């Protein structure tokens, strides 16, 4: 982050004059003075200057999804000098990588892995495996993939 932080900050300052820098020790100090627990959302409120504000009941996680593998051909060349394609097709049985699907029982997740057999690796955005190999017949497509994936989850109550 070293040099990039300042380049980013200077460009942001050109766009928005009231932008400022925040440091972790200020959030910690504010959190301790207000008697709040250690949490990412609490630190964000302390940094923003509103430590006592009421948090949302949900957490939104976002993740950028790559389009495809950049390697077009496999490194090893087949007999006859013909290169073998490394990229899999865009759709497998109508499902696309990082498409949002619903599993039996109402669980929702994203396709992180596809197989030509028709089974899929389903996970949440933070990497929790919901199923390592569920059949395509048991999945219901919810939405096509986007460049920025968004997942809403309920906020856990503070630990006692």
Same domain, 51 and 69: no
Q: In this model, does residue 120 exceed pLDDT 90?
A: yes
Which whole number is the average pLDDT over 117-137?
90
Sheet holding 140-143, edge to edge: 129-135, 119-123, 108-114, 100-102, 140-143
Same domain, 81 and 135: yes
Alpha helices in the chain (DSSP H): 2-15, 24-33, 40-48
Same domain, 67 and 146: yes
Does residue 159 form part of some domain?
A: no
* Domain span at 35: 2-55
Same domain, 143 and 103: yes
pLDDT in tens, 40-76: 888 988 988 889 988 888 888 888 887 766 777 788 8
Q: Are 106 and 140 in contact (CB under 8 A)?
A: no
Find the helix packing angle between 40-48 and 24-33, rounded to 10°.
100
């Amino acid at each position: 982050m070293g040099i990039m932080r300042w380049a980013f900050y200077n460009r942001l300052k050109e766009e928005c004059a009231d932008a400022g820098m925040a440091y972790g020790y200020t959030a910690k100090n504010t959190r301790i003075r207000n008697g709040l627990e250690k949490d990412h959302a609490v630190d964000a409120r302390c940094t923003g200057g509103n430590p006592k504000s009421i948090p949302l009941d949900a957490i939104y996680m976002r993740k950028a999804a790559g389009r495809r593998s950049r390697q077009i051909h496999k490194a090893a060349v087949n007999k006859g000098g013909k290169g073998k394609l490394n990229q899999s097709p865009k759709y497998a049985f109508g499902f696309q990588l990082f498409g949002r699907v619903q599993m039996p029982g109402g669980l929702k997740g994203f396709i992180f892995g596809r197989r030509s057999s028709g089974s899929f690796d389903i996970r949440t955005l933070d990497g929790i495996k919901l199923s390592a190999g569920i059949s395509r017949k048991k999945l219901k497509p919810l939405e096509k993939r986007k460049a920025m994936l968004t997942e809403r989850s309920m906020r856990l109550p503070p630990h006692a």
